[in-house]
């Protein structure tokens, strides 16, 4: 049981880190309208600065000092962004996304080389703070408290991402009954619900629910299925296009009511 709990904590840890990175990228695109391919390198720059300051420059300092130094990487990344935005990114705000992709890809390569030049090709570690926090005993195993801190930051400070609903629900049910000679009939359906969402320009996408039905017959080798997807022909807004990448302006919607029949054979 303790192994399962540790795996769950590890999943939450990696999800929290990825969520915070993705949340920053989503916020940048939503506010600045820039497709920044170098976002991960700016994050890495801040991480390198923090690891260098905490793990090397002040490695033997009191834990309280190390905690106070944790935001130094965020300030360094913000300072770098304050230099890059007016000089490199601002001229491309009204240009096509292709130019943004090219310039930020070039910035990606430059930042990567600069970090290797200053800190070398090997990873930096900041294990002093990691070790000072100790571990939590879970059954017969131990788990670092620092990882729990990262999980807590991801849960409490994470923002709602674009196109991600706060609530979703899915239900599926099927009833099957034998008919004759190895054949059986079945009927079933599923229900899908998505709550209110927002796109990158903060346009609200209303909640909607979709019902699907299917019925048919099958045996060990063959299957015949008749289906009706989106039974009530509910039109849900899936997103809004602002004309980028040559796409037309307007809302994208889900698939309307669809009838069909499928035949399947096992070989």
Residues 63 and 41 in one domain: yes
What is the per-residue pLDDT across 159-215, written as a single tens digit (0 to 9) for each? 566 677 778 899 999 999 999 888 999 999 999 998 888 776 677 888 889 999 999
The whole-model pTM stands at 0.57
Higher pLDDT, 38 or 157: 38
Residue 11 lies in a domain: yes
Q: Is the pLDDT of residue 245 over 50?
A: no
Give the pLDDT confidence score for residue 160 in this predicted structure: 60
No. of helices (H) and no. of strands (E), the chain: 7, 11
Identify which has the larger pLDDT, 245 or 161. Answer: 161
- Same domain flag for 69 and 102: yes
pLDDT at 216: 94
pLDDT at residue 259 greater than cutoff 90: yes
Q: Give residue 120's pLDDT.
A: 87
Same domain assignment for residues 48 and 138 = yes
Judged against a pLDDT cut of 90, whether residue 242 lies above it is answered with no
Q: Which runs of consecutive H residues, i.e. helices, occur in 123-194?
A: 127-132, 145-157
pLDDT band at 153 (very low <50, low <70, confident <90, very high): confident
Structure tokens at 89: 């990114």
Do 189 and 118 have their domain in common? no
Average pLDDT, the chain: 83
Task: State residue 250's pLDDT score.
Answer: 59
Indicate whether 37 and 130 sit together in one domain.
Answer: yes
Q: Please check whether residue 162 lies inside any domain of the structure.
A: no
Number of domains making up the chain: 2
Q: Which of 112, 128, 157 is the last residue in one of the domains? A: 157
Question: Do residues 261 and 131 both lie within one domain?
Answer: no
Residue 227 — pLDDT band, cuts 50, 70, 90?
Answer: very high
Q: Which residue in 21, 73, 23 sits closest to 52, CA to CA? A: 73
Which residues, in sequence order, are bridge partners of residue 216?
186, 225
Structure tokens at 33: 């309208």
Does residue 163 belong to any structural domain of this protein? Answer: no
Decide if 136 is inside a domain: yes
158 has a pLDDT exceeding 60:
no
Q: Are residues 61 and 91 in the same domain?
A: yes
What integer pLDDT is reported at residue 248 of this predicted model? 47
Residues 25, 138, single domain; the answer is yes
Could you list the residue range(s) of the whole structural domain that residue 237 is in?
Answer: 168-265
- pLDDT tens digits, one per residue of 75-113: 999 999 899 888 888 888 777 778 888 888 999 999 999
Would 88 be classed as within a structural domain? yes
Alpha helix (H) residue ranges in the chain = 2-32, 39-52, 63-69, 72-84, 97-119, 127-132, 145-157
Check residue 235 and give its pLDDT.
Answer: 83
Regarding whether 57 and 103 lie in a shared domain, the answer is yes
Res 70 pLDDT > 90: no
One domain, residues 6 and 130: yes
Q: How far apart are CA 220 and CA 215, in angstroms?
A: 17
Residue at which a domain ends, from 122, 157, 192: 157
User: Is residue 176 domain-shared with residue 144, that is, in the same domain?
Assistant: no
What pLDDT, in 10s, does the model give residues 200-221? 667 788 888 999 999 999 998 9
């Amino acid at each position: 049981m303790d192994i399962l709990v540790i795996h769950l904590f590890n999943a939450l840890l990696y999800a929290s880190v990825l969520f915070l990175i993705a949340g920053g990228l989503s916020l940048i695109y939503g506010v600045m309208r820039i497709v920044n391919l170098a976002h991960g390198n700016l994050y890495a720059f801040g991480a390198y600065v923090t690891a260098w300051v905490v793990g090397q420059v002040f490695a033997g300092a009191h834990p309280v000092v190390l905690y106070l130094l944790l935001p130094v990487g965020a300030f360094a990344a913000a300072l770098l962004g304050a230099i890059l935005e007016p000089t490199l990114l601002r001229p491309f705000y009204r240009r096509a996304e292709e130019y943004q992709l090219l310039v930020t890809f070039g910035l990606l390569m430059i930042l990567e080389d600069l970090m290797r030049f200053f800190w070398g090709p090997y990873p930096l570690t900041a294990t002093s703070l990691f070790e000072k926090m100790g571990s939590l005993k879970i059954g017969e195993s131990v788990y670092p408290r620092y990882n729990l801190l990262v999980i807590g930051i991801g849960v409490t400070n994470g923002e709602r991402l674009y196109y991600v609903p706060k609530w979703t629900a899915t239900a599926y049910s099927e009833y099957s009954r034998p008919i004759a000679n190895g054949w059986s009939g079945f009927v079933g359906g599923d229900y899908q619900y998505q709550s209110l969402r927002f796109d990158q320009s903060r346009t609200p996408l209303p909640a909607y629910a979709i019902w699907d039905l299917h019925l048919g017959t099958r045996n060990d080798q063959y299957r015949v299925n008749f289906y009706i997807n989106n039974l009530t022909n509910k039109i849900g807004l899936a997103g809004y296009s602002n004309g980028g990448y040559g796409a037309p302006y307007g809302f994208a919607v889900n698939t309307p009511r669809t009838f069909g029949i499928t035949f399947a054979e096992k070989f």
